[in-house]
A and B are shown apart, each in its own frame.
Chain A
């Protein structure tokens, strides 16, 4: 191992074979930037020599700053050319262990790197143990599938701390749809459940109506939602409602009729009628929220009214 200064143009960073994370996941630390500006780069990068070039193993943020600040030479610790991939992977794990252990996305990307470096399953077993990853081909395949998600999606999942299962769900959606949804990220409010619901509905609507995403994006009602001046949460809610209506036209129409039936019954405000909105369970629930004793007689009269009975009959017919 040799320490010394290496010209920036001999360092391979963006194309480094040890670049685990996409650039979207490398948040620049403002204090590092300030420090480098004031006293330069003190901590050497770790690089792996390949002939005349040096692939960065550790120090991607520092080299980005060096480029921005026109620093021509950087202090480096050079791993000899004959260093084994497993040695370097172990080094990477050691440098980023906490972040790797706490993120399904980072684990996925690390495993993908190990695979790219040609580290076989037996060799990587001790690394898996440190990361609490079950050494089973099915589990490893799940992580590797996640690693193939678009960079934007990976960054989001990492930022939100998504579990392997949540990431896995996303990895099963068509890439085109996934990419497009994440392009709307600044306009919508995302949680794992909301993303799943929206993607699922988009997919179902496109299949049921035999249309593509572009077709939906050109619809006026969709444009109106996405361009509305509401906040992200309201816009997301509007999109979810719009998709539900589109996905469940018949169910929505029945629900609307049932709500009209309830309105026509003229029940006192204290009385609520409810039912399973999926219509699967044939049951009506009537609740009365009584705060004053004199409400009760009125409620009784109202419940005994023939309009209530007719309304209940109509509602039960739908269930």
Chain B
């Protein structure tokens, strides 16, 4: 059992505008521990921010392209909806420690307003299968047992055509999802690493066993699943560690419900290294040889990444050949080295992912993807 994140949350405040709200109603602590406020708290320090939870109204635009999208990479073209900010977990490699200007742990309480923004923004491309992740600035499910905006979000997203919501987590907190009318329009996904990495680098998160058990619960509740092997972390026994991890997962989880796998490795802005080392002196994540690429990110050297990705890819093909597999934040040549081929572009990759979903999950009643719509003029560019 993971150490529950709420054990470190010292105060909870709720925006006065949210006194009558489903998220506010879901808060699972005594009333006298709550405080209503007109002023959103602002905590500068990353770790102090994790101790204060604020339920906030929706401020500004929350729905946009994934910020990892980059012209040098072949990306998956996922969209993100920032329903949470900061995270109660403490992953040594988390980019948030060098990213957030306000580190207060925040959950957006106004689900209807978020759905309105999403509906408006996707209305110009009704043919596109939209994948929308809520994990950009925090774990999608880590706060489920304290304050949840997830269940209403899942139900309301299910009513939108051609949309898949992705809840990405390192937790095992799925109880609140099990009785929701999701209509399979929500993919619950896990970031997975061997237990040795979880113990060393992903403090406070659920164990591998707990994550797999939670995966099984949501699979039994009919949800679609995804697994992100990202970031893969090097450690001396990584090969055996990842082999055993996949054996553990696929002993329990049916590949038929898995939509996609992503593969990526540890990467960060150069200035993050010292922040990581200061915040988590016990971390060994940056031990391997790492270099700075001209996209401004430090990564494991290419030969090591290729070795790790190829190993994982072979295992995935063995255990689960059908789900779509993509690389995250890698250049075209890495795709060719790992998969033997590559999409022509990010738009093409988006099309291929949509096609895979359309073919494998006809019950979702998605619009048949047409490459010309995803990648206008692609034939002329060939």
* A interface residue numbers (CB < 8 A to B): 138, 169, 172, 200, 203-204, 207-208, 247-251, 254, 276, 278-282, 318-319
Contact = CB atoms under 8 A, between A and B. Distances in A.
Interface of B: 44, 273-274, 277-278, 284, 286-289, 291-294, 299, 301-304, 331, 333
Given A172-B274, A279-B302, A282-B333, A251 B289 contact: yes
A250 B304 CA distance: 9
A207 B44 contact: no
A278 B289 contact: no
Contacts of A318: 303
Contact of B289 (A248, A282, A319): A248
B289 A247 contact: yes
Nearest to A279: B302
Given A172-B278, A250-B289, A251-B301, 10 more contacts: A169-B274, A200-B273, A249-B289, A250-B301, A251-B303, A278-B293, A279-B301, A280-B291, A280-B299, A281-B294
Nearest to B278: A172
A248 B273 CA distance: 17
Contacts of B294: 276, 280-281
B48 to A, nearest CB: 14
B287 A278 contact: no
B333 A319 contact: yes
17 contacts: A138-B44, A169-B274, A172-B274, A172-B278, A207-B287, A250-B304, A251-B289, A254-B303, A278-B291, A278-B292, A278-B293, A279-B301, A280-B291, A280-B293, A281-B294, A282-B333, A319-B333
A207 B283 CA distance: 10
Contacts of A204: 286-287
A30 to B, nearest CB: 41
Nearest to B270: A200
Contacts of A247: 289
Nearest to B297: A280
Given A172-B278, A280-B294, A248 B301 contact: yes
**What 7 A-B pairs have minimum CB-CB distances, sorted nearest first?**
A278-B291, A280-B293, A282-B333, A208-B287, A279-B302, A248-B289, A172-B274
A250 B287 contact: no
A208 B303 contact: no
B120 to A, nearest CB: 38
A177 to B, nearest CB: 12
B64 to A, nearest CB: 28
A251 B304 CA distance: 10
B302 A280 contact: yes
B291 A279 contact: yes
Contacts of A281: 293-294
A205 B289 CA distance: 10
Contacts of B289: 247-251
A276 B331 CA distance: 15
Contacts of B302: 279-280, 319
Contacts of B304: 250
A207 B284 CA distance: 8
